A and B are shown apart, each in its own frame.
Chain A
Amino acid sequence: MALILDSSEIREAIALASGLTATLNLPVATDAGKVRAITVADVPAKIAQKTTPKPSAEIDPAGLTYRGDQLEQVLRNMCLRSHFGGAVVTDATGLPFAVVNPPVSMEAVSAFTSVLGSALERAGSLLGQHGAEYLSLDINYEEKIILRRFLIHELPYFLLVICPQEVDERSEIEISIDQIVSILDKK
């Protein structure tokens, strides 16, 4: 016999809670039709649902009029060439200049870039390696986030890239940063 589940108050609480837990948005349906709680392991799948198909052809950014469009095209070309999931260029505060396929909301991307940027700066300062400018973070079993800091006239900017863990992204990032610097540095 149940200690408490049979009581009328608890039955009423369960009925009310069943309606209210819809706002929790925690349970998700499985293939078998049973309900289970959403877990951290589901996050990559959720991120994947939000990403859109990658661009299909490279376009020369120099042919575009606006600086923002040019930057975005550089990021698109980079993602296309190296099968990156997405990329963002921001200033030191996380303000985005150009974005391609952000995995979460823009506010979250900005905040995340800013957080990683300060972590990179603090790590460099704690380790006495003030030239530290590269941070790699595995975000799930398949993908990693790369943060590369670069300077234009002594001001820090960040390129944040999401790519598969097995990809060697360094050369692609360096090439793209050269292009980004030339666009941002244009008078």
Chain B
Amino acid sequence: MGKIVTIASQKGGTAKTTTALNLSYSLSCLGDRVLLLDADPQGGMTIATTIKGKTPAGLIDYLAGRCQLKEVAFYTKEKKMAIMGIGTVDPDSVRQLEDWARKAVIAKALKRFSKHFDYIVIDAPTGFGSVPVALLEASQGVILTSQCQSLSLKSLPKMLGVIDWVQKSSNPDLSLEGIVLTMRHPDNETENEMFQEIHSGFPAGLFFSEYIVSDPVFELASLRSVPVGMLSAGKVAAHNYHQLATEYKERELLRSLSKGADDGADSGLF
């Protein structure tokens, strides 16, 4: 079974879609089978990847029973990762999606998808309505995105509170994988000062040590509908995400080793 990881944020415009797309691409470059899933009715990821050119159908159509997985999830040309768009979006279908979220229909579908991939990376809707909460209830991991700016950082307790609530009420397996700081401006002194403060004030390991630097090449990649790593001008920006994917995998490894050493359940085999 693959791991379901939701990319979430309470505040909009924190590069959730960019992070979902580029982190998925980097994970696939590390050899993992990745499904990138757009679960946001805004359809940002569906637009960013031009999957609509392949099919207008997506998650909503799959959940409605109008099509099968192979008809809505398409591998990229490099066969490295698969992408599923949000599908047919109208007021009725969005209301239906929220209903499916409450009835765990989305969770069951995600479980079925996870049999075919190592990771399912979900671009979640902003905030904590029924869809994002259902995604958290079905996920093993959640990565938050935030800008290193006052408004974005101050919205963190809302989302952390929701994660805490989901962990305690319905999904104890949900793990906060970390917070990625996006669109960083390392030449902005105020931002740098806040960066220092949050690293000293928040618990160690909460923020990924790798952050994503603001770069016009992301807009260029968006125009071309590709991950930044596929642009020759995007090598530096892509390196950020490759490092983030590596750090993420490193955290997973350390967590599994630490868990194994502590529980002692599999000691004494020999």
Q: Is the CB of B256 within 8 A of A17?
A: no
Cα–Cα distance between A25 and B176 once the two chains are bound (Å) = 10
Quick check: which of B15-23, B50-58, B99-107, B148-156 contacts chain A, the rest being far away?
B148-156
Closest CB in chain A relative to B86 CB, distance in Å: 28
Q: Is the CB of A105 within 8 A of B254?
A: no
**Residue A100, interface by CB 8 Å:** yes
For B175, list chain A residues within 8 Å (CB).
23-24
For B257, list chain A residues within 8 Å (CB).
43, 46-47, 50, 104
Question: In the complex where A5-B197, A42-B254, A105-B266 touch, is A20 in contact with B156 (Cβ < 8 A)?
Answer: no
Closest CB in chain B relative to A92 CB, distance in Å: 18
Cα–Cα distance between A42 and B197 once the two chains are bound (Å) = 27
Q: Is the CB of B202 within 8 A of A14?
A: yes
Q: Is the CB of B157 within 8 A of A12?
A: yes
Question: In the complex where A16-B157, A52-B267 touch, is A21 in contact with B261 (Cβ < 8 A)?
Answer: no
**Residue B216, interface by CB 8 Å:** no
Total contacts A-B at CB 8 Å: 126
Quick check: which of B59-67, B161-169, B229-237 contacts chain A, the rest being far away?
B161-169
Q: Is the CB of A7 within 8 A of B154?
A: yes
Tell me the count of chain B residues lying within 8 A, CB to CB, of chain A.
45
Closest CB in chain B relative to A39 CB, distance in Å: 8
Q: Is the CB of B193 within 8 A of A3?
A: yes
**Residue B239, interface by CB 8 Å:** no
For A21, list chain B residues within 8 Å (CB).
176, 203-206
For B220, list chain A residues within 8 Å (CB).
none
Most buried by B among A3, A13, A26, A52: A13
For B177, list chain A residues within 8 Å (CB).
24
**Residue A65, interface by CB 8 Å:** no
For A38, list chain B residues within 8 Å (CB).
254, 258
Closest CB in chain B relative to A11 CB, distance in Å: 9
**Residue B259, interface by CB 8 Å:** yes
Contacting A13 at CB < 8 Å: which of B157, B174, B256?
A: B157
Cα–Cα distance between A150 and B250 once the two chains are bound (Å) = 32
Closest CB in chain B relative to A15 CB, distance in Å: 8
Contacting B160 at CB < 8 Å: which of A5, A20, A104?
A: A20
Q: Is the CB of A17 within 8 A of B206?
A: yes
Cα–Cα distance between A43 and B257 once the two chains are bound (Å) = 8
Contacting B255 at CB < 8 Å: which of A4, A17, A25?
A: A25
A100 nearest in chain B by CB position: B270
As a 0/1 sequence over residues 166 to 201 of chain B, the CB contacts with chain A under 8 angstroms (1 = contact) are: 010000001111100000000000100110011011
**Residue A155, interface by CB 8 Å:** no
**Residue B3, interface by CB 8 Å:** no
**Residue A171, interface by CB 8 Å:** no
For B80, list chain A residues within 8 Å (CB).
none
**Residue B12, interface by CB 8 Å:** no
Contacting B164 at CB < 8 Å: which of A19, A24, A27?
A: A19
Contacting B190 at CB < 8 Å: which of A3, A16, A17, A101?
A: A3
Q: Is the CB of B270 within 8 A of A40?
A: no
Kindly identify, within residues 221 to 270 of chain B, every residue whose CB is under 8 Å from any CB belonging to chain A.
250-251, 253-261, 266-270
Cα–Cα distance between A102 and B266 once the two chains are bound (Å) = 11
**Residue A9, interface by CB 8 Å:** yes
Q: Is the CB of A26 within 8 A of B161?
A: no
For B254, list chain A residues within 8 Å (CB).
25-26, 38, 40, 42-43, 46
**Residue A2, interface by CB 8 Å:** yes
**Residue A37, interface by CB 8 Å:** yes
A26 nearest in chain B by CB position: B205
Kindly identify, within residues 24 to 71 of chain A, every residue whose CB is under 8 Å from any CB belonging to chain B.
24-28, 35-38, 40, 42-43, 46-47, 49-50, 52, 55
Q: List 8 A-B contacts (CB under 8 A).
A: A4-B194, A4-B198, A10-B154, A14-B202, A20-B163, A21-B176, A24-B206, A26-B254
The 3 A-B residue pairs with the shortest CB-CB distance, nearest first, are A26-B205, A9-B154, A16-B160
5 A-B pairs besides A17-B160, A25-B255, A52-B269 with CB distance below 8 A are A3-B190, A5-B200, A18-B203, A104-B256, A115-B31
